[in-house]
């Protein structure tokens, strides 16, 4: 009789991020024999160099505004000082705790853990540390990796990966990019007292979001002290004689800084995985081509998360992992539904959205009704903080359904999460209007907008 390590597995998972871990433990829960290979830390990008540490850093950066607001409510704030090493150490402790949580979930589910890199050999074979393992199904869940532009001196810059372990904060920083990672780190650096420039090659930030969100968040970031430079593609990065960096841009401008971060996109982490040998079809950028059930061009090989590049969000990867486990081991064919997935950008102020942008709605539906409002939150009325909240609803006039909801303001992600349920269920504008608001809150504005925008 063969040893357990040599038995044919039902599922071999390559990658221990949120999606891979979810698929592994759910499959094991359905009775499958499962192994997972991860050479790094469990939790993937989200837990280690993404969502979790980024949100913790975002909280830290918001405290400066909170202390300023406190004075307007009668609080006397003494001398304040920020200590970067304390934040990093506390963050590291929390990430280590979460790494342990993920590993315990796998152990308790009966999943075999291999702390090494795995490569595909063929449609049913995986090699780990020179040992080949057979599996009925293989799931690739290896995430994505920061992409650097091909410019001189790109190696002198950091990516978001390295930002979480800086030994010290720079006095001046340049963040290159216009997506959510760039905005979040520009806000973090700025909130922690770093002189920050945000440079983007396009004409507006957040090009995949509703246009008004990109325009208005640029105004809010600039108001808080971030130097916004649009239509400024990166051209080169050089180090001067004094050790400082200088970033040059396509418009001829140069910016000096101690740190340059390139937040210029991520690519699927599929290099040297043996996908070609197994016959798995990939796009030019490395993305594994999958169908609605997350199956690749090879019937026994599936892919989820950033390597499949459908929607690069942690909750999407975990949902995809659940769907694969149900499909393969619970006789419950489950396809992913990518309609109305909410998302947030944890810059300062926060930004969140669900459903269609105005432009996408017009392209799909033709005419649409738009409702919007902008105002100062009650919290800011006692002082000079003139940060403005922005809310917008997109409505299909043919059905009265709310097809898009967008917000800029404190806790936008918390608010849009609730609104997303209504949008997902197909709620109408009349039903929004019939909902009694909670007063006084910012969220109540989503059920009190009555006037259509011109």
| Cα gap 134→277, rounded to integer Å | 15
- The conformation of residue 148, written as its DSSP 8-state character, comes to -
Q: Class assignment of domain 9-49+86-145+267-329?
A: alpha beta
What's the burial of 335, exposed, middle or buried (CB within 10 Å: 0-12/13-18/19+)?
exposed
Give the pLDDT score at 2: 37
| Cα gap 188→165, rounded to integer Å | 14
All residue ranges of the chain with pLDDT < 70 are 1-7
From residue 333, give the alpha-carbon distance in Å to each of 107, 305, 325: 26, 18, 9
3-state secondary structure 255-278: EEECEEEECCCEEECCCCCCHHHH
* Catalytic residue numbers, as ranges: 439
Under 8 Å between Cβ of 229 and 221 = no
The Cβ of residue 41 has, within 10 Å, a number of other Cβ atoms equal to 19
| Cα gap 244→258, rounded to integer Å | 5
| Cα gap 448→76, rounded to integer Å | 36
- The conformation of residue 401, written as its DSSP 8-state character, comes to E
Under 8 Å between Cβ of 78 and 67 = no
Q: What six digits make up the tokens of 273?
A: 């995985």
According to DSSP H, which parts of 312-357 are helical?
Answer: 314-329
Give the pLDDT score at 430: 98
Bond prior to 349 in cis (omega within 30° of 0): yes
Residue with tokens 């309609």: 339
The fold adopted by the segment(s) 349-447 is Enolase-like; domain 1 (3.30.390)
Positive/negative CA dihedral, 43, 46, 47, 48: positive
Under 8 Å between Cβ of 394 and 402 = yes
Does 3.50.50.60 match the CATH number of domain 154-264? yes
Q: Are strands 301-303 and 131-140 parallel, antiparallel or unpaired?
A: parallel
Percentages helix, strand, coil for the chain (3-state, rounded to 5) are 35, 25, 40
From residue 214, give the alpha-carbon distance in Å to each of 167, 208, 408: 32, 9, 10
Sequence spans of domains, the chain: 9-49+86-145+267-329, 154-264, 349-447
Q: Comparing 9-49+86-145+267-329 with 154-264, is the CATH topology the same?
A: yes
Give the pLDDT score at 371: 98
| Cα gap 18→47, rounded to integer Å | 8
């Amino acid at each position: 009789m063969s040893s357990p390590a040599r038995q044919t597995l039902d599922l071999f998972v390559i990658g221990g991020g949120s999606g891979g871990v979810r698929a592994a433990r759910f499959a094991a829960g359905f009775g499958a024999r499962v192994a997972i290979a991860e050479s790094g830390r469990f939790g993937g990008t989200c837990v280690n160099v993404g969502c979790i540490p980024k949100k913790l850093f975002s909280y830290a950066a918001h405290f400066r505004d909170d202390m300023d607001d406190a004075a307007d409510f009668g609080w006397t704030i003494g001398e304040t000082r920020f200590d970067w090493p304390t934040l990093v150490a506390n963050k590291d402790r929390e990430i280590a705790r979460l790494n342990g949580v993920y590993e315990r979930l796998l152990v308790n589910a009966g999943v075999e853990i291999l702390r090494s890199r795995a490569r595909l050999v063929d449609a049913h074979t995986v090699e780990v540390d020179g040992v080949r393992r057979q599996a009925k199904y293989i799931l690739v869940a290896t995430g994505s990796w920061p992409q650097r532009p091909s410019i001189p001196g790109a190696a002198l810059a950091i990516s978001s990966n390295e930002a979480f372990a800086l030994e010290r904060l720079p006095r001046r920083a340049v963040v290159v990019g216009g997506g959510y990672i760039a905005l979040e780190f520009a806000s973090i650096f700025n909130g922690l007292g770093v002189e920050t420039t945000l440079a983007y090659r396009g004409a507006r930030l957040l090009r995949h979001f509703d246009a008004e969100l990109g325009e208005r968040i640029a105004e809010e970031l600039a108001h808080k002290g971030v130097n916004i430079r649009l239509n400024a593609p990166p051209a080169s990065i050089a180090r001067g004689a004094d050790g400082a960096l200088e970033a040059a841009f396509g418009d001829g401008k140069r910016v000096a800084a101690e740190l340059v971060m390139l937040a210029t996109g991520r690519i699927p982490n599929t290099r040297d995985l043996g996908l070609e040998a197994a016959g798995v079809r990939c796009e030019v950028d490395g993305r594994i081509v999958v169908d609605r059930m997350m199956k690749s061009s090879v019937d026994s090989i599936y892919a989820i998360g950033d390597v499949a590049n459908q929607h690069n969000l942690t909750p999407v990867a975990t949902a995809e992992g659940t769907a694969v486990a149900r499909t393969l081991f619970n006789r419950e064919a489950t396809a992913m539904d990518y309609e109305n997935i909410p998302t947030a950008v944890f810059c300062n102020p926060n930004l969140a959205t669900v459903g269609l942008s105005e432009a996408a709605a017009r392209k799909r539906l033709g005419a649409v009704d738009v409702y919007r409002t902008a105002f100062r939150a009650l919290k800011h009325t006692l002082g000079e903080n003139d940060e403005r909240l922005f809310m917008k609803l997109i409505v299909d006039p043919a059905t009265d359904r709310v097809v898009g909801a967008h917000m800029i303001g404190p806790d936008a992600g918390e608010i849009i999460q609730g609104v997303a349920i209504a949008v997902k269920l197909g709620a109408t504008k009349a039903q929004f209007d019939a909902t009694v608001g909670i007063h006084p809150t910012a969220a109540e504005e989503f059920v009190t907008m009555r006037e259509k925008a011109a």
